[in-house]
Structure 1
Amino acid sequence: MTEAGPAQAGAPTGRSARELLERAERLLGTARAVLTDHAGAVDAVRAALNPLLDGLVRRELSAIPVSRLKDVTEGRLRLGAVEQAGFTTVGQVHEANRYELRQISGVGAQTADQALAAAGQIAHAVRDTVAVRIDVDAPDEATTALVNALHRLVEAGPDVRRAVDAAGRLIARLEPLAVAAGPARGRLRLLFGGREARARALTAAVSVRDEVDEAAARGLPLLFGQVSADLLREADTGLAAWVDFELRSAEYYSLIAELSGSGPDRDAAEGFIPAGIADRVRGLRLDDAHLRVSLRGYQSFGARFALAQKRVILGDEMGLGKTVQAIAALAHLAAHGETHFLVVCPASVLINWAREVRARSTLRALPVHGPERHGAFAEWRESGGVAVTTFDALHTLPDPRDCGVRPGMLVVDEAHYVKNPETRRSRAVSGWTGRTERVLFLTGTPMENRVEEFRSLVRHLQPELAPSVHTTHGAAGSQAFRRAVAPAYLRRNQEDVLTELPALVQVDEWEQFSEEDLAAYREAVDAGQFMRMRRAAYARPGTSAKLDRLRELVAETAENGLKVVVFSYFGEVLRTVGQALEGEVFGPLAGSVPAARRQDIVDGFAAADGHAVLLSQIQAGGTGLNLQAASVVILCEPQIKPTMEHQAVARAHRMGQIRTVRVHRLLATDSVDERMLDILARKERLFDLYARRSDIAETTPDAVDVSDGSLARRIVEEEQRRLASRAADPANSAEASSPAGTADAVDTTGPATGAG
């Protein structure tokens, strides 16, 4: 045998080659199984989805007059005989067959074929426009079958897409290599195969080994096995699937849009940017190895836009997931070797950012704020991850020119905070943008309404673009503006990309007590008063962290012309909120307001032109009123009766709602809010939601409740111990330890009007 070349040195032969190729075949088998199992799960969804789509198409076609068939054939089709025979709609023609139409006097083969072809064209066009709506309040056999089929794919999570993509690529590379390496199984086959064949086999064997080793290093065998197991798992009961659908309906609708081809218009989903830029963005493949969430099509495009254009503003309307798009861009860069990322945001959303990074990706989040910010910054500089800091803290951190770290991407949330170049926060951000290749600004404010503000922001990113942006671009309309500034700006609206409207998007807004908040909270804990603890976050309005975040949310909805309903259990909290807000504020609705007057308030709120705010006690607004005018719901505190919270949200998220309903629940870390949620989370989720969906729950809303004295007392005592309060002193803890029901023992009820 001749000496092997450099590429063949150490190539496996004989037994080692056989063992290697057996490993390769096992790996290929698991990869093929993933594709087969995924195809089976997709087929099951389509089998459930197609009848629903067919029904929607039939309904639409039944309303289209048969004369429209002439439009498709540009007037060449003669339909007089068809109409005289009783065919009055396109649907009737589409349901007929060639033989039936030929039986009509005066209809020949050509007319019958043309009529059927025209009806088919219209049906195809209609199918592209219809969208399945799933009504959780009226499930039937067909929608339950669809939800069950989707549940399997949703439960398997984003690993499915990752595994399918990886399996396809692996099979395409490894299969031909394994075939080419076959002769290396036996030394005699190599010896008599000729020099060129021998060289090809040995080179292929080396490549097979490299592919198998790389797959093992990436954990692909485990990934393929786990995904196949998830896709083959026995379907849960209809109840479990419906429960899951309520919790994450967006993921179900995203799959429906993908598999039915009924997603949003591509131009709208891509923000009406010019074709050249759109093509470049589409050509970038997003690496989701570090993501823990499935992206919708427009979200993937947004993340790729940020990566392809490098220095941009993502201006999607609120509710479309700007944060997760930013995290997807960071995760992609991390998969390609970047280690350090920096997020700058208002203090009110810092905790949310840290939580979202950890929940949506495998990236490490490090809050860099407060007294320990310099130590946290040093840790980030040393170990990497996503540093999350505030506008006010940024200027106190080491100068970006001296810190020795160049972030893979800088993300600036609520970017309008830096619109004034003279402010300290703007200068601090500018220092980092000048040192960072990739910068992503996030803002929900429509920039076409604020052209000068846009110019100010774009100077941080693409200074050469700023002089070419004129107020006339904004005056020309949103689409014209977006095309003009496309190199640096992407915005999509809910109505353009969420074809399954209305959906329900729920966001927990975690805030950290200010010092004054904490003082008020400690006083309530020391007094052992549960309900006072729940409203302590609003006791000092001038420094209330929750109130600051509420104002920010309302301001963003005002910019987008949306209506908001603010719920609280407490009338006192609603009065505080009302005094803190500007603009048109209706209410508050309360139990003490007569029913007729309550309806007048709701009618006035609905009739208001554009943005408006309605304040309501959750007991008064949770039943009997329809609040479809509101597409944003803010809950000032978590509710002690989950059914009460559900019923209140359902006032806005119901038949007649034409927009996605976004629910923001304001929560304080290390407080009664967190204790309450912990207790509720420990309960069996299926039991909770089954009770909520049952007839019993409608008449017994206390079925799942933390308002009974023992649980409230437990929360108070836990908080007293945690804060090392007067609970340690028996003389001062009488209130907290007294039995529920005694005078102001553990105050769990609050007055019906919420005045206390």
Structure 2
Amino acid sequence: MLLEFGRASGPADSAAAGLAPVLPQTLHRAKPAGSWWRMLLARAGTRKSATTALGDLRTWVDSPATTLIHKSATSAVGAARRAERLSAKRLWSDFQRNAAAYTTLLTEIGRAGPDGDARAARGFVPDELADEAGGVDLDTSLLSVRLRAYQAFGAKFALLQRRCVLGDEMGLGKTVQAIAVLAHTASRGGRHFLVVCPASVLVNWIAEVSCHSALAAHQAHGASRDAATARWIKEGGVAVTTFETLRRLPLPAGFRPDYVVVDEAHYIKNPQAQRTQTVNAVAERAPGVLMMTGTPLENRVEEFRDLVSYLDPTVADTITVSDGMLPARDFRSKVAPVYLRRNQEDVLAELPESLELEDWVVLADADEQAYSAAVGAGNFAGMRRATVINRTAVMSAKLERLLEIVEESAASGWKVVIFSFFLDVLSEVDDAVLAAGDGVKTFQLSGRVPAAERQRMVDEFSAIDGHAVLISQITAGGVGLNIQAASVVILTEPQLKPTIEQQAIARCHRMGQTRRVRVHRLLAKDTVDERLLEILGGKSALIAAYARESDAKKLDPAAVDGRLTGERADAAGTDAGGIGEGNLKQRIIAAERQRLGLPSGASRAQT
């Protein structure tokens, strides 16, 4: 429909912009040629000027640029006429399915300046660096998607710096910015591009490259891995593989890709891990490397330093453990040359606000018994699950509240996504929703679902007209998938890291969302939930101080926000000396045993 015109109109805009300054003057000079008697009476100089101008107009009329403008205008008229024949409901449905693309087009048509706050859109990087990045001539001829101003700046920044981290908040379109970088490089003669990502988003990457660019996408993973890799080496394009598969790719000795993109780069924050070493071995040979992560530092300044060291050892050498005690702005200025981050509120003025609610429940007798048994056994995972499923015929208090939220959402026609870490919780919730709902359609997405099927499941869920429920394991559906069709998110239990919850919420609250997203956190009083909330609060404060806002963001009218975490503690800085995750679980178990008056003993501090 209208998007067909929007996608094709970019080159036409450029062509029209080239003609606009000279066309009025040329038409004025050619005016005498419109009448033979005017030409007869005109002076010799006027006749010559009119004849020359007429020749210029004929050349322009027959030029590829004018043909492109005419084709674009014809497409626009056709799209508008087809849209007139559609119902308002059909048009709204099309807008909801393609909200991100429509919003980008509308923003460009009506924009007087860059997205959001100008300096924020540039990530608050230093002015000199921002101006230099803004001056990069980004070639979008191989793109079939229009970039928003902050996205164009992100691509320009990456091209200028060559090796950097794009740490935009989840939902801002890091993938399309990376594709823009690859498309520009291809237009300048680059042939081989490599994307390394988690298996859960591999299919999405293949689809995005194919949809948004003229580059060929090759799935270098699975049964056709070797054949796809050979085809990529021969023909060029974008090879997409996983962290685990990369080391098994049959690459020629010394093979040098033109650009490497590492998605979810925090997967390689441990320099001792084999996958980190494998990625670096390939990236070191590439002239361009773009690492992408919405959470560059979940726990430690050291981890961010390691990430930076893969890109620019000189910058990494300036980062010390004691920098965690510096003011956040001072710390960010150190990493501005290799780090750009923008936040949703800075660049997506049209994004509806999210409403986050804490739904506290009091455990029923059956819940209490299940929870006390788990505490007595020192089973940390059992403690977390017991607040949702009590293994009896009596429904838990959390499950009752969950069904109330689902019922309210069904009455409004809203789609719901329910996240849990535990497989047995997913099954219990699925059964309860099906039993309570009147023909409600549910989908269960877990790590057991092949990566290739996950986006297909999400697409089917999104295509349903009205209410539906997606029940997802947070580690499987909370990363890399786009679920803007849902406007209600339910978290059945708090997670050990705030970034896990933030990523899950961002699957729904992202560019293209047209409704206000309601996030319900189900929490049980006097349980492990309260202890974890305290920890999450501390860890979130660290990330907000250091990894939320980049100096690179504060430089130019088209870029926006990033920070680093500064404490050593895996436990989110709740202990100044830093305690490991396992030790953290043991402390929570000990605290709960003491509160319940249970004897201390050996524990199994599972997740």
TM-score > 0.5 by shorter chain: yes
Deviation readout 1:196-230 (Å, 9 max, x if unpaired): 997998799689748954537x8554334323433
Equivalence for 1:89: none
Question: Which residue in the other structure is 1:170 paired with?
Answer: 19
1:364 aligns with 2:201: no
**Pick from 652, 673, 679: which aligns with 2:489?**
652
The correspondence of residues 127-146 of structure 1 with structure 2, limited to 5 A, is none
TM-score (norm 1): 0.46
What are structure 2's unaligned runs of at least 5 residues?
360-378, 405-418, 438-442, 450-456, 472-485, 491-501, 509-607
- Are the structure 2 counterparts of residues 647 and 401 from structure 1 closer, same or farther at C-alpha, using a change threshold of 3 Å? closer
Distance 2:334 2:342 in 1: 15
Alpha-carbon offset, residue 276 of structure 1: 1.7
| C-alpha distance in structure 2 between counterparts of 1:332 and 1:241, whole Å | 33
Q: Distance in 2 between matches of 1:434 and 1:166?
A: 39
Who is 1:594 aligned against? 395
Q: Which residue of the partner structure matches residue 327 of structure 1?
A: 179
Q: Which residue of 1 aligns with 2:76?
A: 227
Q: CA deviation at 1:365?
A: 0.2
**Secondary structure at 2:20's aligned position in 1?**
helix
1:273 is aligned to 125
Shift of 1:444: 2.2
TM-score (norm 2): 0.56
Deviates more, 1:308-317 or 1:341-350: 341-350
Q: How does 1:563-582 map to 2 (within 5 A)?
A: none
Which amino acid letter does the alignment assign opposite residue 598 of structure 1?
L
Correspondence list, 1:553-632, <5 A? 587-588=388-389, 594=395, 596=397, 598-599=399-400, 615=425, 617-618=429-430, 620=432
CA contact (8 A) 2:171 2:507 kept: no
Q: Is 1:464 the counterpart of 2:314 in the alignment?
A: yes
Q: Alpha-carbon deviation of 1:599?
A: 4.5
Q: Matches of 1:231 and 1:480 in 2, distance apart?
A: 52
Q: 1:295 aligns with which of 147, 156, 162?
A: 147
* Candidates 266, 269, 290, aligned match of 1:416: 266
SS in structure 2 opposite 1:223?
A: helix
SS at match of 1:341: strand
Preserved CA contact (<8 Å) 1:622 1:644: no
Q: Indicate the residue corresponding to 2:93 in structure 1.
A: 243
Give the deviation of 1:490 after TM superposition.
1.2
2:337 paired with 1:500: no
CA distance in 1, matches of 2:15, 2:390: 55
Change (3 A) 1:590 1:581: closer
**Cα distance 1:444–1:226, how it changes in 2: closer, same or farther (>3 A)?**
same
Question: How far does the alpha carbon of each residue in 1:466-524 deviate from its partner, in whole angstroms, 9 at most, with x for none?
Answer: 112234555446555443311111122334433334379xxxxxxxxxxxxxxxxxxxx
Match of 1:428 among 261, 278, 287: 278
Q: Which runs of 5+ in 1 are unaligned?
A: 1-151, 505-560, 565-578, 604-610, 626-632, 665-756
Q: Distance in 2 between matches of 1:594 and 1:389?
A: 44
> In the alignment, which residue of structure 1 is the partner of 2:305?
455
Matched, 1:376 2:228: yes
CA distance in 2, matches of 1:269, 1:582: 45
Deviation of residue 284 (structure 1)?
A: 2.8
User: How far apart are the structure 2 equivalents of 1:204 and 1:472?
Assistant: 72
| Distance (Å, rounded) in 1 between the aligned partners of 2:382 and 2:342 | 27
More helix by share: 1
Q: CA deviation at 1:178?
A: 7.5
Matched residues in 2 for 1:497 and 1:622: separation? 39
Counterpart position of 1:487: 337
Confirm or deny: 8 A CA contact 1:177 1:205 kept in the other structure: no
Letter in 1 for 2:19: L
CA contact (8 A) 2:195 2:262 kept: yes
Return the alpha-carbon distance in structure 2 between the equivalents of residues 493 and 563 of structure 1. 23
Distance 1:482 1:253, change over 3 A: farther
Partners of 2:134 and 2:26 lie apart in 1 by 30
Per-residue displacement from partner, 1:375-426 (whole Å, max 9, x unpaired)? 32232222111111233333344566644x542x211112233334444433
Alignment partners' CA distance in 2, 1:589 and 1:205: 85
Q: CA deviation at 1:309?
A: 1.9
Give the 3-state SS of the residue equivalent to 1:279 in structure 2: helix
For residues 516-570 of structure 1, give each alpha carbon's deviation from its aligned partner in whole angstroms, at most 9, with x where no partner exists.
xxxxxxxxxxxxxxxxxxxxxxxxxxxxxxxxxxxxxxxxxxxxx9999xxxxxx
Identity fraction in percent = 38
Quote the Cα distance in structure 2 between the aligned partners of 1:590 and 1:166: 67
Q: Using the alignment, how far apart are the partners of 1:200 and 1:474 within structure 2?
A: 71
* Root-mean-square deviation over aligned CA pairs: 5.0
Deviation at 1:180, TM superposition (A): 7.5
Q: Find 2:158's aligned residue among 306, 309, 323.
A: 306
- How do 1:28-107 and structure 2 match up within 5 A? none
Query: Aligned letter for 1:434?
Result: E
- Aligned partner letter, 2:184: H
Is the 2:217–2:237 contact (alpha carbons within 8 Å) kept by the matching residues of 1? yes
Q: Per-residue displacement from partner, 1:337-393 (whole Å, max 9, x unpaired)?
A: 433211122333322211221122222101123454343223222211111123333
Does the 8 Å CA contact 1:265/1:496 hold for their aligned counterparts?
Answer: yes
After superposition, the C-alpha distances for 1:676-715 in whole angstroms (9 at most, x for unaligned) are xxxxxxxxxxxxxxxxxxxxxxxxxxxxxxxxxxxxxxxx
Q: Look up the equivalent residue of 1:445 and give its one-letter code.
A: T
- Are the equivalent residues in 2 in contact too, given 1:312–1:439 (CA < 8 A)? yes
- Match of 1:268, SS? coil
Deviation at 1:263, TM superposition (A): 4.8
3-state SS of 1:461 partner: coil
> Which of these two proteins has the greater Rg computed from alpha carbons?
1
TM-aligned CA deviation for residue 254 of structure 1: 4.7
Deviations 1:79-136 (A, max 9, x none): xxxxxxxxxxxxxxxxxxxxxxxxxxxxxxxxxxxxxxxxxxxxxxxxxxxxxxxxxx
| Candidates 244, 261, 267, aligned match of 1:392 | 244
Distance 1:272 1:342, change over 3 A: same
Contact 2:159 2:181 in 1 (8 A): yes
